């Protein structure tokens, strides 16, 4: 079976990236992770990926200054060098320009910690608690130029419990993220 070649873009701790790498260990998983790429050279996830035997690369955005597209051209070249067919954003904390979004249209996905279209952007768990929501969750969506706005591929729901803090809710949602992301990616690459 030839497996879809996936690159994962991170900026930080990389727990969703790790969930994808672990899922790809299963012999019947339809994707493999061929590169973990970070805009932050000190991202914790880079070490986790390299400990797991996955090729890693950091392309620091800072030397590119305000030229976001130039940074993305460097990312795009690295993705193509790695032979990536799909890109999974996993805690990648930079807003993308139309250049990278269009280059990977239909083949770039993101995981977001809310039930989109509710709560795009940051601080999703606090916003769900403050709104009195009974349910929270996470969404996997195709990346388009609007932040957290692309077509939703899959969602997972968790309850909001009485007395929840944003941290407690975030931990519950994160467990759901780790189950949802590999499943959603697998579904995308086989369809
Ligand atoms: C996750 O909550 C993800 O949904 C959001 O950023 C966080 C990244 O966490 N986009 P990690 O780096 O995968 O641990």
Average pLDDT along the chain, 191 residues, taken 10 residues at a time: 95 98 97 98 98 98 97 98 98 96 98 98 97 98 95 98 98 98 98 82
Nearest-atom index, ligand 1, CA of 17: 13
Nearest to 164 by CA among 187, 117, 132, 121: 132
Which among 112, 125, 141, 178 is annotated as catalytic? 112
The predicted pLDDT at position 191 comes to 82
Angle 77-181-119 from CA coordinates, rounded to 5°: 95
Q: Whose CA is nearest to atom 1 of ligand 1?
A: 91
Nearest-atom index, ligand 1, CA of 10: 12
Ligand 1 pocket mutation, candidates 113, 115, 128, criterion most atoms within 8 A of CB: 113
Q: Identify whether 178 is a catalytic site residue.
A: no
The pTM of the full predicted model, rounded to 2 decimals, is 0.97
How many Cα atoms within 13 Å fall on the side-chain side of residue 167?
Answer: 0
The predicted pLDDT at position 171 comes to 98
The predicted pLDDT at position 34 comes to 98
């Amino acid at each position: 079976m030839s497996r879809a070649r996936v690159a994962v873009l991170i900026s930080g701790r990389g727990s969703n990236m790790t969930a994808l790498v672990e899922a790809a260990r299963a012999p019947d998983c339809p994707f493999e992770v061929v590169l973990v790429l970070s805009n932050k050279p000190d991202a914790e996830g880079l070490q986790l990926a390299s400990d797991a035997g996955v090729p890693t690369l950091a392309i620091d955005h800072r030397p590119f200054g305000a030229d976001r597209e130039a940074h993305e051209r460097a990312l795009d070249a690295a993705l193509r060098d790695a032979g990536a067919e799909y890109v999974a954003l996993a805690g990648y904390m930079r807003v993308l320009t139309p250049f990278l979004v269009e280059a990977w249209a239909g083949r770039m996905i993101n995981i977001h910690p809310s039930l989109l279209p509710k709560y795009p952007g940051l601080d999703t768990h606090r916003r769900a608690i403050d709104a009195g929501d009974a349910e929270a969750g996470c969404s996997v969506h195709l990346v388009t130029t609007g932040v957290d706005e692309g077509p939703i591929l899959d969602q997972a729901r968790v309850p909001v419990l009485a007395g929840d803090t944003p941290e407690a809710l975030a931990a519950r949602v994160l467990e759901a993220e780790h189950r949802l992301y590999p499943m959603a990616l697998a579904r995308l690459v086989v369809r």
